[in-house]
């Protein structure tokens, strides 16, 4: 099967055509202006060495070279064979805390930014698995259903901000139960004795947790879902900055009494979540190896086979068109715009009556 990988490159042909139409119009306009200013004899003398036919050939060669260049940029491909690819892994949902306390800067650049960087690294270290993302604060929202498209997952991770959820808080119970629902609706079905390994990874500072989170974890375990957790923040705590639309610091968040809020990580609670969830708990520290430790924990999981994909191996054919474009470009450089013979000067005054 023949196809173009980047057909949008053909827009270059349309752009080039517009430029050549403009060039042709300017040539005609210039010639008309010369006739208005000078008489026919003077115009013929001025243009005595110019060969308009050669200029048209140069335009033709330039345009043809650009056409073949556009074809090469469109990357023509010819399908050679097809292969069935099957991926194996487990299902994991990244439940990421996006409450305002995650904007504290006791971890640089902030708790949330540190979580996004580390989870993106985690995604890179465990290809082949199906990953989903849930953002939570006072409530939870599904950012990405379970998918093995890691590029999309990293894009959604990068887009996480506190503005995603209006009601604040750290409702881990909502995140756990929402994750369980996503597994039921979007995960693979356990049939014919296949055991599906499912994991919820909670990335949070544990601040202002709501009641019922531990009960939700117990319900998840009953459905063979394991819960892991990573704590972001320091025991010393940090203030929550307030910034304008340009990112400049305006001050720090205060309580109703006007006192600056100091948010501290609740690592003990997140550790309980992991213990009840039959998972591991890690404390995020700069330069730590907790992400690699998580990957090592996941390696022992039983893998399930996901849906198969049929991939077609294509051979690139752009080289031929690139060579043709190069040849036309060389020809354009060789062709000049001057006549081969220069007419002799007949003097300033010429008898035009004959």
Angle at 149 between CA 308 and CA 317, to 5 degrees: 75
In terms of domains, do 198 and 283 share one? yes
Asked if residue 346 is part of any domain, the answer here is no
Asked if residue 308 is part of any domain, the answer here is no
Kindly report, residue by residue over 249-276, the tens digit of the pLDDT. Answer: 777 777 777 777 778 888 889 999 999 9
Give the position of tokens 């074809």. 71
pLDDT range class, residue 105, cuts 50, 70, 90: confident
Q: What is the C-alpha to C-alpha distance for residues 213 and 43, in angstroms, rounded to an integer?
A: 91
In terms of domains, do 251 and 326 share one? no
In the 3-class helix/strand/coil scheme, how is the chain assigned residue by residue?
CEEECCHHHHHHHHHHHHHHHHHHHHHHHHHHHHHHHCCHHHHHHHCCCECHHHHHHHHHHHHHHHHHHHHHHCCEEEEEEEEEEEEEECEEEEEEECCHHHHCCCCCCCHHHHHHHHHHHHHHHCCCCEEEEEEECCCEEEEEEEECCHHHHHHHHHCCCHHHCCCCCECHHHHHHHHHHHHHHHCCCCCCCCCCCEEEEEEECCCCECCCHHHHHHHHHHCCEEEEEEECCCCCCEECEEECCCCCEEEECECCCCCECEECCCHHHHHHHHHHCCCCEEECCCCCCHHHHHHHHHHCCCCEEEEEEEEEEEEECHHHHHHHHHHHHHHHHHCCCECCCCCCCCCCCCCCCC
pLDDT at 48: 65
Asked if residue 167 is part of any domain, the answer here is yes
In terms of domains, do 320 and 243 share one? no
In terms of domains, do 57 and 154 share one? no
How many domains, the chain? 2
In terms of domains, do 53 and 176 share one? no
In terms of domains, do 118 and 177 share one? yes
In terms of domains, do 208 and 290 share one? yes
In terms of domains, do 50 and 183 share one? no
CATH of the domain at 124: 3.40.50.410
Asked if residue 344 is part of any domain, the answer here is no
pLDDT range class, residue 193, cuts 50, 70, 90: very low
In terms of domains, do 9 and 146 share one? no
Asked if residue 250 is part of any domain, the answer here is yes
Lowest mean pLDDT among 29-38, 185-194, 208-217: 185-194
pLDDT at 41: 67
Q: Which domain holds residue 328?
A: 2-79+316-334
Lowest mean pLDDT among 20-34, 144-158, 268-282: 20-34
Asked if residue 173 is part of any domain, the answer here is yes
Lowest mean pLDDT among 48-52, 198-202, 350-354: 350-354
Asked if residue 353 is part of any domain, the answer here is no
In terms of domains, do 72 and 216 share one? no
- 228 beta partners: 201
In terms of domains, do 55 and 99 share one? no
Q: Is residue 191 over pLDDT 60?
A: no
- In order of 66, 170, 312, the CA distances from 245 in angstroms are 44, 25, 46
Q: Is residue 240 over pLDDT 90?
A: no
User: Between 352 and 336, whose confidence is greater?
Assistant: 336
Asked if residue 310 is part of any domain, the answer here is no
In terms of domains, do 39 and 127 share one? no
Mean pLDDT of the chain: 83
Q: Is residue 190 over pLDDT 50?
A: no
């Amino acid at each position: 099967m023949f196809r173009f990988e980047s057909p949008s490159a053909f827009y270059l042909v349309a752009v080039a055509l517009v430029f050549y139409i403009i060039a042709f119009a300017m040539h005609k306009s210039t010639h008309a202006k010369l006739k208005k200013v000078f008489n026919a004899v003077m115009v013929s003398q001025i243009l005595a060495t110019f060969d308009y036919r050669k200029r048209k050939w140069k335009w033709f060669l330039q345009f043809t070279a650009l056409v073949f260049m556009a074809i090469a940029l469109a990357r023509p491909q010819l399908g050679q064979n097809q292969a069935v690819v099957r991926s194996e892994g487990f299902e994991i949902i990244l439940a990421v805390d996006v409450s305002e306390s995650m904007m504290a800067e006791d971890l640089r650049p902030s708790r949330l930014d540190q979580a996004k960087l580390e989870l993106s690294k985690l995604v890179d270290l465990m290809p082949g698995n199906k990953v989903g993302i849930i953002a939570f604060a006072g409530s939870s929202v599904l950012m990405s259903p379970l998918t093995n498209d890691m590029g999309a997952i990293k894009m959604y991770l990068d887009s996480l901000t506190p503005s995603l959820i209006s009601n604040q808080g750290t409702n881990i119970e909502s995140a756990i139960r929402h994750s369980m629902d996503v597994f039921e609706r979007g995960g693979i079905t356990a049939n014919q004795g296949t055991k599906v390994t499912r994991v919820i990874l909670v990335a949070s500072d544990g601040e202002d947790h709501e009641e019922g989170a531990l009960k939700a974890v117990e319900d998840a375990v009953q459905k063979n879902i394991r819960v892991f957790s990573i704590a972001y923040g320091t025991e010393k705590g940090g203030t929550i900055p307030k910034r304008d639309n340009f990112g400049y610091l305006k001050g720090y968040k205060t309580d109703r009494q006007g006192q600056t809020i100091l948010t501290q990580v609740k690592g003990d609670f997140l550790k309980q979540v992991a213990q009840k969830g039959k998972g591991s708990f890690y404390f995020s520290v700069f330069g730590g190896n907790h992400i690699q430790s998580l990957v090592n924990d996941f390696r022992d999981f039983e893998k399930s086979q996901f849906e198969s994909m049929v991939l077609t191996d294509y051979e690139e054919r752009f080289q031929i068109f690139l060579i043709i474009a190069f040849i036309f470009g060389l020809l354009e450089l060789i062709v000049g715009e001057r006549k081969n013979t220069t007419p002799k000067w007949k003097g300033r005054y010429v008898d035009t009556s004959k």
